Structure 1
Amino acid sequence: MHAVRTLGAMLFAVIGAIGTARAADGSVRFDESSKTFRLDAAKVTYAFGVDDKGQLQSLYWGPRLGVSDRLSAAVAPAPGDAIDGNINRVRQEYSGWGSGLYYEPGVKITFPDGNRDLVLHYVSHSIKGSILSVVLKDIERAILVTLEYEIDADTGIVRRSATITNRTSTPVIVEQANAATWFLPRSRDYTLRFLSGRWAAENSVNERPVQPGKTVLESRRGTTGMQNAPWFAVRRNDANETQGQVWFGSLAWSGSWQIAVEQDQIEQVRISGGFNPFDFGYKLDAGASLATPSFYAGVTTDGIGEASRLMHRLELTKILPQAPNPRLRPVLYNSWEATEFKVDEPGQIALAEKAASIGVERFVMDDGWFGARNTDKAGLGDWVVNRQKFPNGLKPLIDRVHVLGMDFGLWVEPEMVNADSDLYRAHPDWILHMTGRPRTEGRNQLVLNLARADVRAYLFDALDKLLSENDIAFLKWDYNRSWSEPGWPEVAPDQQKNVYVDFIRNYYGILEKLRKKHPKIEIESCSSGGGRIDLGVMHLTDEVWTSDNTDAFDRLRIQDGFTQAWTPAAMMAWVTDSPTWVNNRALSLEYRFLSSMQGSLGLGANLNKWQPQDFATARRLVAEYKAMRKTVQQGRLYRLISPQGGSEQSATESVSADRAHAVLFAFLHSSTEKYPYPTVRLQGLDPDAKYRVRAIKGKFDERTPTTASGAYWMNAGIDLLLRGDFQAAALAFDEE
C-alpha cells in the first residue's frame, strides 16, 4: 500500500499459521460465542470485543489471565447522564468523531458536503499468522478502518495501527488519525512519566499525577523533536524502578506526532497517539488509504526498570534493522571536533592513524567534504566531493583507512539545503515554503520538501552515486533544523497538508531503498543531537546520536533518560575533549570513557592534542570495552542509582543475556562531610552462581570477597571507595 503501511507490517516477524497462533508464541484468538478477541503472550493479556450494538470495546489489558477466564462485551455499558451521553461511557477501541463523542477520537473526517459525523461499527476480522485485522465501517458512508494488532511473544508488547480507506466516490479530508487508544483500569492511582528536553539537554525524566483533563505530549516540528519523546509510562502510585504495575508505550513515527493522556469524568484513563492533529488535513482521494504509524505498548508488574528492559528487548529483536541479531556497534572515531569544516586528505589520514592506534574500528569524516562547504552558510545540497580538499576524490583516504584496519563513514544532511548552493539556485521551489511569505532559515539552511517526488529522486540518486562510487560502510545522517512555513504550493490547496505524511513516507522510502541496494551500509540517525529518535527511524537506522552535549557528567542524566525508552545498543556516546564547550568543566579521561562505555562507544576528541599517556589510557579502555560491549549493548540494563534530581551518585549495571557476565558503572559528583559512597547492590544475577569481581577502574573495600554468589552481590552488595569530585569506577563480574 503506502511506505508507512509497509513499515508497520515489517516490524514483527510472522509466527504460527493462519488462524490461532500457538499460545507459547503469542496467542491471537477469537471467541465466536462471546464475540471477544484475546491476545496472550509472555506475562500479558490484551482483550477486546464486539457489543450488542456493533461497537468495538476494550475489555482488559494487564497481567496474563487464565486460559479459561472469559470476558464479554455483549452489552454496552449502562447509560450515562444527559450531559455526557451514552457514547462516552463506551471504551471504544477505535472511535470516529461523531454521535456525541467528547474525548479524543481515533479518526475525524470532513466530507465534501460538510458532514463531520463518523460512527464506526464492527464488520469483519481475519487472523493471519500473528496478525489480527479488524474492519470497522461508518454506519452510513463507505469509510472503512482496518485495525491491526500483533503481540510480541517474548515481551507481551502489543503493536497496533489503523488504516483508513475511502470507498466513497469523492475525496475526504482526514483531520485526525490516531494509531490506537489504550485503556487503563478506572482509578485515581496513576502517575505519568514522560521525557522532555531541548538542544544539549535531551531526555529529562518528568512525572506528574494523572488527573481529570488531558496531558498532551507532542511535536509540531515536522520531525520527532527534542521537546518531548514519543514515549510514555503510566505507573501505579506505589510503583517504582524495581516493582509495581506500569503501562508504557512508544510511537513509531518520525514526523509531527501526538500522545494524549486523558482522565474523564468517571475516572477512566485513556492514552491515544498518532499523527499530530495540529495543522493536519490529509486529502484522501476516492479509493485511497491512509495508514497511521504503529503504536507499541506493554504492561509489567515489575516496575519502571522492567518496562525499559522489555522495550529494549523489543527494539533489539524486532525493531533494529538487523534484528533479531543486530551487529554489535563498532568503536568509532568522528573527526568533527578535531577539524570542523577544515577537512582535507592529509589531515584526515593523520587522525585516522591516531584513531587506529587505540583500537578504533570505524573512522567517520564529518561535515566539510563536499561542495563549497567551508562554513555552515554554503554547500548543503551539493553532494559532490570538494576537489580542492580531496584532489583525487575520497578513494585515497578510504584506502588508507582500510589499510589501518577500519571501515569508513561519512557525514551527510540530505534533507537540507543552503541558499548559497548550486541546488538551491537551480531549484528554489524545492523547499518547504508558502507563496509570498518569508523563507525562514535555521542554522543558515532551509528544509527541502521531501514530499515531492523529484526531491526524493534527487536525494536517492545523489546518495546512491556516493555509495556506489566509494567503499563507504556508514552514513551519519544529520537533520539540523525544524520545519517552518510548511507549504507545498505546487499542489492544490486542499492537498498541501499531506506534506506532514508524505515527507516522512519518502524519507523512510529513501532509507529502505538505500539499504536494499547497499545491504552493507549502516546509518546513524542524528538531528542536532537527539532530535530524531523514535521506533520508526530506529527500524531503518542502526544507531542514534543521543545529544550534541558530550559533557560526561551531563551525559549521565541524558543517558538515564534515554534508556527509559531506548536500548543502549543504539545509544551513541562519545569521549570528547575536556573541558567541553558545554560547561567548561574539567573531567579526567577515565571518567569520560566510563560515562560513554555505558552505551555504544565512540570518540570525538582532537587526537592531535593528546599526550602519550592519553593514548595509553584510551588503548586500555577501548580493549576493556570490546570485551564487555555485548553485555552493555545487548544485555539487561539495571539503573541502580539514578542521576536525576541533582543526585550526587549514579550507578548502572548491565547483565548478559545468559547472566554469566555483568559490568557495574558507578559515578560520584562530589563527596561531602566524609560520607561514604552508598553500598551498591546488584540486580539480575543468578543467585546460585559464583561471580568473580575485577576492578576495571577504581577500588572497593578490602574486606570484599573476590568471589561470591549472585545472592551475595545482590543482597550484601559492594562498597566502592569513591571520594572527591567527579570520580568514577567500573567493575566486571564474571561467572566462574
Structure 2
Amino acid sequence: MIQCWRLDDRRQTLVLGSHRDHLAEVIYWGPRLPDDEDLNTLFTVHAIDVTGGMLDLNPELSVSPEATRTFPGQPGLIVRARDGTQLLTKFCLVKANEERGKLSLVYTDENNGLTYTARFAINTRTHVIEAQASLEADQPVHLHWMSAPVIPAPQLSDEMIDFAGRWCGEFQLNRTAWSPGMRFRENRTGRTGHEHFPGLIIPCRGATNTQGHAYAFHYGWSGGHKMIAEELPDGRRQIQFGHAERMEVAPQTRFQTAPLYITFSDDGLNGCAVAFQRHLRDEIVHMPDVARPRPVHFNCWEAVYFDHNLPTLKEIASRAAALGAERFVLDDGWFGRRDDDTRALSDWEVDPRKYPDGLNPLIDHVHGLGMTFGLWFEPEMINPDSDIHRAHPDWALGGEDQILGRNQKALNMALAEVQDFLFDRIASVLRDHAIEYIKWDHNRVLPMPDADQTRGSYALMDRLRAEFPHVEIESCASGGGRIDFGILKRTHRIWLSDSNDALERLKMQHNAALFLPAAVTGSHVGPRKCHTSGRILDMSFRAWVAAQRHMGIEMDPRELTDDEAGTLETVIGWWKENRGWMMDADILRLESPDPAVVAEQQLAADHARFVVFAGKAATSSQIAPRPLRLTRLDPQARYRVTLINRDSAGSLSRGTQTLKSESVDLSGTYLMNHGLTLPWSFPETMWVIEGLRR
C-alpha cells in the first residue's frame, strides 16, 4: 500500500511517500504543486528504472536510508548495543500524525527495540521547513551517527555551495562540483566553528543571486556538525546533516537531532537568503523589547584591551556618546586579577584594584550619558591560573596534558555543579548592577567533542534568560566561531568576526546575509589602522560598511580627527534615521557586472523604499563602471533615486552624471533591466543609493 503526505506554502511543496510501511522518502520538493495533484501517482512515477548489473529494485533513498534495505550509500543511522553489536535497523510505520503545516512519522524496529520519528513543520510566512529526527530505545544504546531527515538533492545542479573560513576570515564560499561519491564535511571542535558554518546551498543550473531555482540547508546546532552530500552510483543524490559523529559519548535511551532548516527558492539565492533572514529574525530570535530600536554599540576592547582605568573609560564613554553611541560594552579585564589573557577566567568578581568602588561609578556615568551598559563574560572557559581552577581542577574538561587555547581550558558544562556555579556568579553581577547586555565569548575549541557540553551551555543560557529576561546576549566566539540558529534561540546578536577591517567585513557580511539578517549581525567601525590586518582605511568606507548591519564602534575615539569624527557622526545619524525599516528589511545580493564591486540592496518590508550599498573592493579591470541592476522592485512603479554620499566622488570622477548633482525618478523596469550607472570610484570606497517609491 502506498501512503503519501504533503506540506505546502505559497512557494513550495514537499511530498513524502512510502509503500509497505517502509521509511518514507521525499519524492518531490520544489515549486508548489496543484492542490489536486495525485500523490500516489507521483510516488509511482518517481521510481527510477533498473538495468543489468543492478538490483532488481532500487533501495529507497528514505528519510533515514537503511543498510538492511541494501542502500548503497551512507546510512542515516548508525547505532550499536551496549556490548558493541551493530544494530541493523528495519523500521516499519506505526502512525502518521498530520496537523496543519506539520507532519510526524513514527516507525518501530521491534527486533532491536527502537522507535524512530521524523518531524516536519512548514512556516507558510517565511517559507522555511524544519525537519528533525529522534530515536528512542528500550535499552541504552550507543549512537554513532543520526542524520536529520534526509533530503534528496536536485539532479539539475552542477555544483554545491558550502562555507569555510578562519579566525578573522569567516563565511568564505566553497563551490564544489557534483561528481560520483561523497562530499563529507565534519566539524569536531565542539563549537559551530569559523571553519565549518553548518550551511549548504544547491543552485540549479543557471541560478544566480536573483533568478533561478535553489535549495538551501542549515543545521541549527552549536556543538559541531557533519554534512554529507553524496551522489550514489545510480545517480541519485542525498543530503545529510547531523551532530558530528560520536558526539554522544554515553549510551542513552533517547537521542534527537537539531532542527534542519531547509527552503526552496524560485528566485535565486536571494529567495533562500530572505527565507532564512526572516525566519531567524521573526521566529527564532526573541528580543526582550521588540519595540526598542537596535542601539548603536560602543565596545571598548580595541580602545583599552586589559588596561582598565576609570577616568580613561569615562572619557572614552563620553566621546562615544557624543559620536552617537547608545550602548557601552565593557569588555575583558574587569574581574579577578585579569591583566592579560593568562589568568583569572572563571573568577567572576569585580577587580577591586581597577574598580575600588565597583562597577557602579562607570555604569552611572554611562547611564548619565544616555547609554545602556553591557558587560563581557566568557562563562564556559577557565584559566589554570585562577582561584576556581585551583579549588576545582576537576571542573575542567579534558586531561591535564591538553593543549591550551588562549591560555585556557574549557569548563565541563555537563556538570550540574559547574552550571550552578556559573549561574550564581553571573546572576550576582547582574543583580548588583544595572546591566542590560552581555557579550558572551567562547575563545577556544574543545579538547574533545561532546554533545553534553553544548546542552549544558544551552541550559545555562536558558536559565539566565528566564531569570533576567530584560538582558540581551551577544554570541561571540573569537568572532564568528559560534553562529547558528541553535545559539540564536538563546541570544540576540552575533559578532560576525573579530576582524574590524572594513574590506574584509564587506565580503563576509555579503556572504553571511545568505542566512543572517541585519538586526542580529553586529558590525563595528574599527580603528584607523586595523588591529587584525594592519590595513589603513578611510573613515567613510569603514562607517558605511558598519552601517550595512547592526552598527557599532570599536576603537579609541580619542584618535579621531575632527573630519573623521564628523564623518562618523553623519553616518551614525543616517543609520539611526533609517534603522526602523532597515532592521526589518530583506538583504538582497546583487549581480555585480564588475567583480571588484560587492553590492547589495536592502528592501523595506513594505517595498516602499530601498538602499543600495555598492562597495569597491579592488581596482576594476575596465575604465567606466558598468550598470548595476537592482532586484524585486515593482516594474510599473517609479522610484526617486538619490546618491546620498555623492560628495565622496574622487577627483578622477570628472563626468557630468545627473546622480552626482540631483535625485532622479526612474521606473522599476529600468532599474531592474538596465540598472544604475554609478560614478567612478577608488578602491576601498562605497556608494550608497537611496530609493523611495513615488
If the TM-score is normalised by the length of the shorter chain, which range does it land in?
A: over 0.9
Distance 1:578 1:429, change over 3 A: same
Q: One-letter code of the match for 1:729?
A: W
Deviation of the 1:594 alpha carbon: 0.8
Equivalent position of 1:178 in the other structure: 147
Equivalent position of 2:431 in the other structure: 468
- Does residue 212 of the first structure (1) align with residue 180 of the second (2)? yes
Equivalent position of 1:379 in the other structure: 344
Distance 1:558 1:603, change over 3 A: same
- Does residue 680 of the first structure (1) align with residue 628 of the second (2)? yes
- 8 Å CA contact 1:98–1:116 kept in 2: the answer is no
Equivalent position of 1:664 in the other structure: 612
Q: One-letter code of the match for 2:410?
A: V
Q: One-letter code of the match for 1:734?
A: L
SS in 2 for 1:35: strand
Deviation of the 1:501 alpha carbon: 1.7
Distance 1:363 1:65, change over 3 A: same
Among candidates 542, 565, 578, match of residue 628 of structure 1: 578
Deviation of the 1:80 alpha carbon: 6.1
Deviation of the 1:76 alpha carbon: 10
Encode CA deviations 1:425-457: one digit per residue, 9 max, x unaligned: 0111111114xx612211111111111111111
Deviation of the 1:241 alpha carbon: 1.4
- Does residue 453 of the first structure (1) align with residue 422 of the second (2)? no
- Does residue 723 of the first structure (1) align with residue 681 of the second (2)? yes
Deviation of the 1:37 alpha carbon: 1.0
Distance 1:407 1:651 in 2: 33
Equivalent position of 1:703 in the other structure: 658
- 8 Å CA contact 2:247–2:451 kept in 1: the answer is no
Equivalent position of 2:327 in the other structure: 362
Among candidates 126, 129, 133, match of residue 162 of structure 1: 133
Equivalent position of 1:573 in the other structure: 523
Encode CA deviations 1:183-230: one digit per residue, 9 max, x unaligned: 134x36331011111111111112111111111222110110111210
Distance 1:53 1:422, change over 3 A: same
Distance 1:83 1:449 in 2: 53
Equivalent position of 1:55 in the other structure: 23
- Does residue 239 of the first structure (1) align with residue 207 of the second (2)? yes
Equivalent position of 1:269 in the other structure: 237
Deviation of the 1:149 alpha carbon: 0.9
Encode CA deviations 1:237-283: one digit per residue, 9 max, x unaligned: 22111111111110010002111100001110110111111x44443
Among candidates 244, 258, 265, match of residue 226 of structure 2: 258
- Does residue 93 of the first structure (1) align with residue 58 of the second (2)? no
Equivalent position of 1:301 in the other structure: 266
Equivalent position of 2:599 in the other structure: 651
Distance 2:590 2:125 in 1: 24
- 8 Å CA contact 1:359–1:619 kept in 2: the answer is yes
Deviation of the 1:88 alpha carbon: 5.8
Distance 1:404 1:65, change over 3 A: same
Encode CA deviations 1:702-721: one digit per residue, 9 max, x unaligned: 33552333333333432222
Distance 1:323 1:426, change over 3 A: closer
Among candidates 124, 146, 156, match of residue 95 of structure 2: 124
SS in 2 for 1:126: strand
SS in 1 for 2:135: strand
Equivalent position of 2:286 in the other structure: 321
Equivalent position of 1:17 in the other structure: none
SS in 2 for 1:173: strand
- 8 Å CA contact 1:275–1:292 kept in 2: the answer is yes
SS in 2 for 1:289: strand
Deviation of the 1:367 alpha carbon: 0.6
- Does residue 283 of the first structure (1) align with residue 238 of the second (2)? no
Distance 1:322 1:339 in 2: 30
- Does residue 312 of the first structure (1) align with residue 277 of the second (2)? yes
Equivalent position of 2:118 in the other structure: 147
- 8 Å CA contact 2:152–2:238 kept in 1: the answer is yes
Q: One-letter code of the match for 2:429?
A: L
Deviation of the 1:309 alpha carbon: 1.3
Q: Normalising to structure 2: TM-score of the pair?
A: 0.93
Q: One-letter code of the match for 1:70?
A: D
Equivalent position of 1:430 in the other structure: 395
Distance 1:710 1:117, change over 3 A: same
- 8 Å CA contact 1:80–1:89 kept in 2: the answer is no
SS in 2 for 1:605: coil
SS in 2 for 1:544: strand
Q: State the percentage of identical aligned residues.
A: 30
Deviation of the 1:134 alpha carbon: 1.3
- 8 Å CA contact 1:358–1:619 kept in 2: the answer is yes
- Does residue 528 of the first structure (1) align with residue 478 of the second (2)? yes
Distance 1:100 1:710, change over 3 A: closer
Distance 2:184 2:278 in 1: 27
SS in 2 for 1:725: coil
Distance 1:634 1:725 in 2: 30
Distance 2:411 2:129 in 1: 35
Distance 1:678 1:368 in 2: 49
Among candidates 428, 437, 458, match of residue 508 of structure 1: 458
- 8 Å CA contact 1:87–1:101 kept in 2: the answer is no
Distance 1:721 1:410 in 2: 43
Distance 2:273 2:646 in 1: 28
- Does residue 70 of the first structure (1) align with residue 25 of the second (2)? no
Q: One-letter code of the match for 2:555?
A: A
Among candidates 441, 445, 450, match of residue 482 of structure 1: 445
Distance 1:354 1:323, change over 3 A: closer
Distance 1:135 1:674, change over 3 A: closer
SS in 2 for 1:179: coil
- 8 Å CA contact 2:596–2:620 kept in 1: the answer is no
Equivalent position of 2:512 in the other structure: 562
Deviation of the 1:83 alpha carbon: 7.4
Q: Normalising to structure 1: TM-score of the pair?
A: 0.88
- Does residue 691 of the first structure (1) align with residue 636 of the second (2)? no
Equivalent position of 1:292 in the other structure: 257
- Does residue 248 of the first structure (1) align with residue 180 of the second (2)? no
Distance 1:67 1:188 in 2: 25
- 8 Å CA contact 1:53–1:76 kept in 2: the answer is no
Distance 1:350 1:626 in 2: 23
Encode CA deviations 1:687-730: one digit per residue, 9 max, x unaligned: 33332233331368533552333333333432222333322221
Deviation of the 1:292 alpha carbon: 1.2
Deviation of the 1:458 alpha carbon: 1.2
- 8 Å CA contact 1:123–1:137 kept in 2: the answer is yes
- 8 Å CA contact 1:149–1:159 kept in 2: the answer is yes
Q: One-letter code of the match for 1:104?
A: Q
Encode CA deviations 1:651-681: one digit per residue, 9 max, x unaligned: 2111101111111112224556871222222
Distance 1:663 1:188, change over 3 A: closer
Distance 2:458 2:620 in 1: 51
Which consecutive residues of structure 2, in runs of 5 or more, have no partner in the other structure?
Answer: 650-655
- 8 Å CA contact 1:661–1:735 kept in 2: the answer is yes
Deviates more, 1:395-404 or 1:634-643: 634-643
SS in 2 for 1:664: strand
SS in 2 for 1:513: helix
Deviation of the 1:328 alpha carbon: 4.3
- 8 Å CA contact 2:277–2:514 kept in 1: the answer is no
Encode CA deviations 1:297-346: one digit per residue, 9 max, x unaligned: 11112111221111111112212123996854311000011100011322
Deviation of the 1:86 alpha carbon: 6.6
Distance 1:708 1:300 in 2: 28
Q: For this pair of structures, how many residues does the alignment match?
A: 681
- 8 Å CA contact 1:676–1:723 kept in 2: the answer is no
- 8 Å CA contact 1:179–1:293 kept in 2: the answer is yes
Matches within 5 A, 1:592-607: 592-607=542-557
Distance 1:112 1:579 in 2: 58
Q: One-letter code of the match for 2:358?
A: G
Q: One-letter code of the match for 1:116?
A: L
